[in-house]
Amino acid sequence: AQSVSQHNHHVILSEAASLELGCNYSYGGTVNLFWYVQYPGQHLQLLLKYFSGDPLVKGIKGFEAEFIKSKFSFNLRKPSVQWSDTAEYFCAVSPYGQNFVFGPGTRLSVLP
């Protein structure tokens, strides 16, 4: 069965620290990859997506992610986090346009 794993359940960082959240998936075919963010009390928002082409994709709010096909990974990065980045982050995989499979989520807490 397809699955998505996220390496960390809860990450705590100080402001200005660098962030990397891991995501791995188990599907062997072509996939669309996504990172969604859910701020406290708010709805899921798309941070960035990868469909094809350059494996390094840039999203909103200074986030970027790198697709490494050989590692089945799509890690999210940000060079310098802010307190306002405190949220739940979900990696999602869509096997070539089919339904989404979400990872379990990583809670990011940024200390001011």
| Residues within the interface to another protein (CB under 8 A) | 32, 34, 36, 42-46, 49, 51, 88, 90, 94, 96-100, 102-105, 107
The two structure tokens encoding residue 111: 């200390």
Nearer to another protein, 18 or 42 (CB): 42
**What minimum distance in Å lies between the beta carbon of 104 and another protein?**
6
Long-range contacts of 54-57 (CB under 8 A, 24+ apart): none
Say how many C-beta atoms besides its own lie within 10 A of residue 42's C-beta: 10
Nearer to another protein, 69 or 80 (CB): 69
Nearer to another protein, 79 or 104 (CB): 104
**What minimum distance in Å lies between the beta carbon of 80 and another protein?**
26
Nearest to 33 by CA among 59, 62, 7: 59
**What minimum distance in Å lies between the beta carbon of 65 and another protein?**
15
- C-alpha dihedral, 39 to 19 to 16 to 90, nearest 10°: 0
